[in-house]
Amino acid sequence: MADWYTWHDGYDEPGSGIAQRLPAVQRQIVAALSQVPPGRITVLSMCAGQGRDLIGALAGHPRRHDVVARLVELDARNAEVARRAAAGAGLSGVEVVVGDAAETDHYVPLAPADLVLACGVFGNICDEDIRRTVDMCAALCRTGGTVLWTRHRRPPDLVPQICAWFEESGFEQVWLSDPGEPFGLGAHRFAGRPRPLPRGARIFGTFVGPALGPDQQGGEFRRAEPEQS
Ligand SMILES: C[S@@+](CC[C@H](N)C(=O)[O-])C[C@H]1O[C@@H](n2cnc3c(N)ncnc32)[C@H](O)[C@@H]1O
């Protein structure tokens, strides 16, 4: 049975959508880190999975010891993989929390952060929840900080709308993947003043489960259709 643990196997399949997406995400993480002034770098990752994007980008990075990160992941198996990977890479500032990433309380210790990761999220929640999550990024991200996000390009392609929502919420587009890529990836920098993060609130509602086959909708990466992620 496919689940969010085995979903990560796609990273080990050359040519899969998420295997192609990973280096692009990591490049954007490195670019975002390079914008942060000397000192502590704070990172929040919602629905972090096994943390392959952030942990891979930080391993060997000259500022890895500046990073204090909080990864929020519901599946304890994925969280354990992320914890071990972080420890193996000597990333003592990376904390992995098992919990519901929709709950704002998880982000209180580090918000507003220098970098917010919402990768593998927008393909698995409804449009209204994407809008709410984008808006909440104005409380999760510091002025000048970056949000990295992904969304598949299946029609109707919501990527342009997501970019518009970020702009309405005070963000400027830094980078957007080419529409011809088998994934959508955006980097938006926050130009506004962060709102206080509401405590005890929810950011999004139901998270759709991983798709098991070509006829099933919802999963951001569908194994049977590697051009989509
Ligand atoms: C599409 S995967 C993305 C994982 C990772 N961000 C990446 O891009 O490699 C979605 C992840 O969200 C996790 N997840 C699902 N619902 C969640 C929730 N309510 N809170 C936290 N994590 C959740 C799943 O267990 C899964 O690891």
Average pLDDT of the segment spanning 127-144: 98
Asked whether 73 lines ligand 1 (CB < 6 A), one says yes
Cβ density class 125-153: b for 16+ within 10 Å, e for less: beeebbbbbbbbbbbbbbeebbbbbbbbb
Determine which helix (DSSP H) or strand (DSSP E) holds 176, and give its type and residue range. Answer: strand 171-176
Summarised one tens digit per residue, pLDDT across range 186-208 is: 999 999 999 999 999 999 999 99
Asked if residue 132 lies in contact with residue 126, where contact means CB atoms within 8 angstroms, the answer is no
Catalogue the long-range contacts made by 158-165 (C-beta closer than 8 Å, 24 or more residues apart): 158/122, 158/127, 158/130, 159/184, 159/186, 161/127, 162/122, 162/130, 162/134, 162/186, 163/188, 165/130, 165/131, 165/134, 165/135
Single pTM value for the model? 0.94
Residue range 114-140: mean pLDDT, rounded: 98
| 220 CA: nearest ligand 1 atom | 1
For residue 12, the SS3 value is helix
Task: Indicate whether residue 16 lines ligand 1 (CB < 6 A).
Answer: no
Residue 31 is given by DSSP the state H
> How far from 223 is each of 7, 13, 214, 220, CA to CA, in Å?
8, 10, 8, 10
- Pocket flag, ligand 1, residue 29 (CB < 6 Å): no
Mean pLDDT, all residues of the chain: 92
What pLDDT sits at residue 220?
A: 58
State the pLDDT at residue 224: 36
- Name the architecture of domain 6-190: 3-Layer(aba) Sandwich (3.40)
pLDDT of 228 higher than 50: no
pLDDT at 215 over 80: no
pLDDT above 70 for 75: yes
Local confidence band at 2 (pLDDT 50, 70, 90 cut-offs): low
Q: Whose CA is nearest to atom 16 of ligand 1?
A: 207
CA of 200 to the centre of ligand 1 (A): 20
Specify the DSSP class assigned to residue 43: E
Q: Are strands 94-98 and 184-190 parallel, antiparallel or unpaired?
A: unpaired
Output the CA 195–ligand 1 centroid distance in Å: 25
Per-residue pLDDT at 209 = 81
Instruction: Give CA angle at 97 (94, 98), nearest 5°.
Output: 145
Contacts of 25 (CB under 8 A, 6+ apart): 53, 57, 119, 148, 150, 185
Q: Where are the domains of the chain?
A: 6-190
| Residue 125 near ligand 1, beta carbon < 6 Å | no
Region 1-25 average pLDDT: 92
The reported pLDDT for the residue numbered 210 is: 82
Other beta carbons less than 10 A from residue 155's beta carbon: 6
**The pLDDT value given to residue 200:** 98
